[in-house]
Amino acid sequence: MKESIFMPVMDQNFELHYWTKEYQSDGFGVKPDKLAKNYSEIEPLFRLHSHDAMEFLVFLGGECEYICEGNTYQLNPGDIVVVPPYAVHKAKVKDFETYERIVFNISKPLLADFLSISPVMNESVIYHKKSGSHVIHLQSDKLLEIIALFKEVSHRLKSDKENHDFALQYLLFQSIQTILNPESSEPSHHIVNDPDQRLLEIIDYIERNLTATDLNLGNISKQFHLNKYYFSHYFKNNMNVSFYRYVLLKRLAIAVTMIKQNEIAMEEVAQECGFQDYSSFYRLFKKEYNISPKNLQKKHKKN
């Protein structure tokens, strides 16, 4: 069975994926030999997922609703979705024939390097996380600048044998700095739903207690003085995902991060991520990613 495309592992410090009228790339900016013609086979791949990289989606055209951490946005060309690590998100595309976007993923270590040398970038990342605002609208000239920078990255990836890591990272740094600079963008006003304060408190509570084994529907309902069945219905209606799956996606993404670090035994990974036992962790991990935790570890070490 083919591994899930949502496996939150990058073999490089970053990935660049195009989906434009010219071509669709399956990885790292490389143009595939044949265009995807049967769009009905592609659509099911756009489902809720979570990963440990930060993601920027540059929306170029078509009709698309974007769901991120309970917020639903109606995207317009020039919008950029800023997806923090471990955020649960997905794109709902109406027509793949007209859909155009560029997705850029950057690993946490490389992002940390960028943030350490750019106070403005660091402040912007903190702001977006605290405010729960995930979409910004880029000025037209800045959008063209971003597209040009990404095209240069893609060109270097496909033409240079050694890729010149320093040059690539400098281009990427320029791209992110432009996106996150308040002077080149403004908040998007295309949010479809506006989460209430209680939902924001629930999301914050889950994040702070994510790896606790007693984080379950019953206990969190009591924490917020709500009936368990009402809470379940309320959460799913507002977050577009059940409480159980929301927590599971985040825990699995954290588990992948720990597996990549390869510092503790797999049984400890399961325990540290809030799973009751290794067998349930193994079953859920394999079901989500179509690869076992230990085989992923072997694959990552080999890469």
- What is the chain's pLDDT, residue by residue, as a tens digit (303 residues)? 344 444 444 556 888 888 876 655 544 333 333 444 444 455 545 788 888 889 999 999 999 999 998 888 999 999 999 998 899 999 988 888 888 999 999 988 899 999 999 988 888 888 777 777 789 999 999 999 999 999 888 888 877 656 577 888 899 999 999 998 888 776 555 666 666 789 889 999 999 999 998 999 999 999 999 999 999 999 999 888 999 999 999 999 999 989 988 889 999 999 999 999 999 999 999 998 888 999 988 887 776
* Alpha-carbon torsion (278, 283, 285, 290), positive or negative: positive
Residue type for position 179: I
User: Which three-class secondary structure state does DSSP give residue 61?
Assistant: strand
- Is residue 285 within 8 Å of residue 274, measured between CB atoms? no
User: Which three-class secondary structure state does DSSP give residue 182?
Assistant: coil
**pLDDT at position 11, please?**
54
**pLDDT at position 243, please?**
96
**pLDDT at position 215, please?**
95
Q: Give the contacts of 106 (CB within 8 A, at least 6 positions apart).
A: 13, 14, 53, 54, 56, 114, 172, 176
For 87-198, strand residue ranges (E) read: 89-93, 100-106, 135-138, 185-187
- Is residue 253 within 8 Å of residue 50, measured between CB atoms? yes
Domain positions in the chain: 14-187, 197-302
Give the CATH fold of the 197-302 domain.
Arc Repressor Mutant, subunit A (1.10.10)
**pLDDT at position 255, please?**
94
CATH superfamily of 14-187: Jelly Rolls (2.60.120.10)
- Residue pLDDT, tens place only, 74-90: 999 999 999 988 999 99
User: Which three-class secondary structure state does DSSP give residue 187?
Assistant: strand
**pLDDT at position 191, please?**
62
**pLDDT at position 97, please?**
81
